[in-house]
Amino acid sequence: MRENETEMDGTAKLELWWSVILIIISAALMRVCEVMWLKPRRIRSKLSKQGIGGPKPTSILHGNIQEMSKIQSMATRTIPPPLGQVVSHDWYLSTFPYLQKWSQEYGSVYMYSTGNKQHLYISQPDLLKELNLHKSLALGRPTYLTAATEPMLGNGVIKANGESWAYQRKLIASEFFLHKVKGTLGLMEESTMAMVEAWEKHITESEEGVVDITVDEDMKSVSADIISKACFGSSYVQGKQIFEKLRALQEAMSKPSMLFGLPQFRFLPTKGNRAIWRLKEEVDSFIHRVVKARQEKRQQDGKSEDLLQMILDAANNDSQKHASKTDHFIVDNCKNIYFAGHETTALTASWTLMLLALYPEWQECVRAEISKICGDPLQTCRLDLDTIPQLKTLTMVIQESMRLYGPAIIMAREAFADIKLGDLVVPKGIHIWNLIPVLHRDPEIWGVDAGEFKPERFANGITEASKYPQAYMPFGYGTRLCIGQTFAMLELKIILSLCLSRFSFSISPKYCHSPMYKMLLMPEHGMRLLVKKVS
């Protein structure tokens, strides 16, 4: 009898375990069904009912990925023109060509899919204006993109969302107000003059009086030196390893597929992923050293007043709930400032010099303006908050350069709740996109000469430069507008003024015009220019 009871108890337990396993499997299958099929279907249905079309997903697992890959493979890279011909500015045609193709087929607003992720592409000016005005925390950076860029940016101000982003922005933005930025003008000039003097020495030592310089590399060094001194109190020599490792990390992570959530297997120990993990650890280690050095210096010399110290104070303030993970808070925000604070400015300065080399008449106009306002170019330029705003022509050239060759290529947002843009209800979970170079070349917005370099279009400011000013977004838009915009513009004007007052630039025979996307718009083979002293 007892043996039969024991056998029955064992059978009952086994049946119970099987029931539990079946429940778990059923729950998992229901979750997969919800994530991969039901939720995407609901989102697409809500948009479809509002008249939004787009390419139909070819499968539940891949969405439109196969079509995207096919269109991308058919797109040809811009062929560098022979020496002496005008460089074409239509490089953008091979950058995410599927977005442009679908715009032609489905209009200025359409939807598409990458697996279970649903995307809404918007290039309609009135809807972009609504995005500009939208201040709710229900609109932020795509969460899957934040996860993909975690090794590079962590959860710092660039990628954070919600209250965490609002807190970090409030903390950091105050360091870039004009009354604080003006105190860094001397640092900007000092760092730039070091590069200028190196160029002058190089030219003097050359037999022809002209040298072939990869200017983007030097610009990165100058900009890195400026952001290090201004925000972290250290020189480029101290921060050099951080910048080199961040650049290597950026190179390792620069895959267009990352933007749209295509399969990356970033958790698998592949060769590429191991390299990313190693570089992340090295960057974090270097930043910890800078932080430790600052903490030791503060104990000896008293309180320091810069961005790094503000981050340290916030992270150590137990009353701030957002700074609970002290180490992550410090490292993530330092990486954000290092990355965004020097790379974008250096690239903009490089593209601007390339354009001025292509259009020498504008180079002469800018040089004449600098000479008139700042005095003899062979002496130290009087660049301050009184003279810099007077450089109208230089400002126009920079703005036009950012229109044609702005470092940021993609605008991306995620709706964390249902939001309304005009008459369009955007459902929760959708990812909103725009291809900035295409928007910056739209003839309906900029006129028939939209593809040409014409700085005069900004003669009366950004609001008068195009039919829809909200379509100009080199620094982003709305609440996510770049907090370092004032700092960056002052830095650009100082760097370019000091360079143009002393040197003339022309395109090197070795320059290969091949802009490419690597998280930012970069010259694939470097920015090679011929540099000689102004006579």
- Please tell me the predicted confidence (pLDDT) of residue 380: 53
How far are the Cα atoms of 76, 223, 366, 378 from residue 500, in angstroms, in the given order?
35, 17, 8, 11
DSSP label at 460?
A: T
- Please tell me the predicted confidence (pLDDT) of residue 378: 44
Window from 35-44, 364-373, 514-523 with minimum mean pLDDT: 35-44
Window from 198-212, 256-270, 518-532 with minimum mean pLDDT: 256-270
Burial class (CB in 10 A: 0-12, 13-18, 19+), 16: exposed
Q: The pTM is what?
A: 0.87
* Model confidence at 325: pLDDT above 80: no
* Model confidence at 274: pLDDT above 70: yes
Q: For residues 87 and 185, give the distance between their C-alpha atoms in angstroms, rounded to a whole number.
A: 34
pLDDT by residue (tens digit) across 443-492? Answer: 999 999 999 999 999 999 999 999 998 899 999 877 888 888 999 999 99
What phi and psi values does residue 81 have, to the nearest 5 degrees? -75, 155
Average pLDDT, the chain: 84
Residues contacting 327, CB < 8 A, separation 6+: 288
Q: Read off the amino acid at residue 185.
A: L
Q: How confident is the model at residue 335 (pLDDT cuts 50, 70, 90)?
A: confident
pLDDT by residue (tens digit) across 199-238? Answer: 999 999 998 999 999 999 999 999 988 888 887 777 656 6
Question: Which domains does the chain show, CATH number per domain?
Answer: 34-133+409-473 (no CATH), 157-407+484-535 (1.10.630.10)
Q: How confident is the model at residue 406 (pLDDT cuts 50, 70, 90)?
A: very high
Is residue 365 part of an annotated ligand binding site?
no
- Please tell me the predicted confidence (pLDDT) of residue 261: 53
* 238 against 397, higher pLDDT: 397
- Please tell me the predicted confidence (pLDDT) of residue 241: 76
Q: Which of 326, 336, 317, 324 is nearest to 231 (CA)?
A: 336
Q: Could you tell me if 71 and 97 are in contact, meaning their C-beta atoms sit under 8 angstroms apart?
A: yes
Q: How confident is the model at residue 299 (pLDDT cuts 50, 70, 90)?
A: low
Q: Which of 309, 263, 318, 269 is nearest to 290 (CA)?
A: 309
Query: What number is the average pLDDT over the span 502-508?
Result: 95
How many CA atoms, within 13 angstroms, populate the side-chain half-sphere of residue 454?
A: 13
- Residue 184 in tokens: 């860094």
Helix H or strand E encompassing 505: strand 503-507
* Model confidence at 77: pLDDT above 60: no
pLDDT by residue (tens digit) across 84-112? Answer: 445 788 888 888 899 999 999 999 999 99
- Please tell me the predicted confidence (pLDDT) of residue 4: 56
Q: How confident is the model at residue 502 (pLDDT cuts 50, 70, 90)?
A: very high
Quote the percentage of the chain above a pLDDT of 90.
Answer: 41
How far are the Cα atoms of 132, 211, 252, 529 from residue 514, in angstroms, in the given order?
32, 22, 19, 14
Q: How confident is the model at residue 324 (pLDDT cuts 50, 70, 90)?
A: very low
Residue with tokens 């592949």: 270
pLDDT by residue (tens digit) across 276-292? Answer: 888 888 888 888 887 77
